[in-house]
Amino acid sequence: MQDAITTVLNQYDLIGYYLDNKAMETMQSFFDTGLERIQITEIISNQSADIIKETYVQLFDEQPELLRPGGNSYTTRRYSACLRDIEYYLRYASYAIMSGSTQVLDERVLYGLRETYNSLSVPIAPTVRSIQLLEEVIIDKISTSDEATKSIISTPFQYLIKQLSEKDI
């Protein structure tokens, strides 16, 4: 798992270049948003149970067929797995927010998720919707109209959504 700084340094080291203005701007942005990323992550950590609950309540209100016989969250085992996955998305998204990098999402969520969901025939639409709801619930909890703050929050969730939506899992 790498943060934004390590990612930049590794990229430049790989090509044997000194850091240029673009690299310096990326690192400066990471440092400038550090306190805000810490505050967002703290809110997520402290309110994770409420965030997860609000997310699954909204998801199952919107898509009650998931809980009915034949639905992908029908039975206690499947329901528990759904809640576990929502918690995983939230936890790893908080790591991505803190590190300023989506690399952790590739390493810890997306690589193994494709194979697992394929083998279990998990539908992708409710998964994507749960990730969208996580993002919405957090933005609501932060209660900000600042677009930069919303962007910090949205980046990992939108990355997950894009990666899952573009892949045939």
27 and 99 inside one domain: no
Query: Can you say how many angstroms the Cα of residue 139 is from the centroid of all Cα atoms in its chain?
Result: 13
Q: What is the DSSP string of 52-65?
A: HHHHHHHHHHH-GG
Question: Is position 129 annotated in a ligand binding site?
Answer: no
Please name the amino acid found at residue 148: A
- 125 and 158 share a domain? yes
Same domain, 14 and 84: no
Q: Tokens for 167?
A: 């892949």
Asked if residue 58 and residue 16 are part of one domain, the reply reads no
Give how far Cα 163 sits from Cα of 11, 111, 119, 156, 166, Å: 22, 10, 18, 11, 5
| Domain identity same for 61 and 141 | yes
* 77 in a labelled binding site: yes
Quick one: 117 and 140 in the same domain? yes
Under a CB-based contact definition with an 8 Å cutoff, are residues 159 and 105 in contact?
A: yes
Write down the pLDDT at residue 167: 54
Which CA distances in Å does 14 have to 112, 114, 116, 130?
26, 29, 32, 37
Q: Same domain, yes or no, for 155 and 113? A: yes
pLDDT at 17: 96
Q: Do 76 and 138 reside in the same domain of the chain?
A: yes
Is residue 20 located within the same domain as residue 41? Answer: no
Residues 20 and 92 in one domain: no
Residue 6 belongs to domain spanning: 1-32
Give the CATH number, domain containing residue 54. Answer: 1.10.490.20
Per-residue pLDDT of the chain (169 residues; tens, 9 = 90+): 889 999 999 999 999 999 999 999 999 999 999 999 999 999 999 999 999 999 999 999 999 999 999 999 999 999 999 999 999 999 999 999 999 999 999 999 998 787 788 788 888 999 999 999 999 999 999 988 899 999 999 999 999 999 998 655 4
Shared domain for 4 and 46, answered yes or no, is no
Together in a domain, 81 and 114: yes
Domain count, the chain: 2
CB 104, CB 92: distance < 8 Å: yes
| 10 is known to lie in a ligand binding site | no
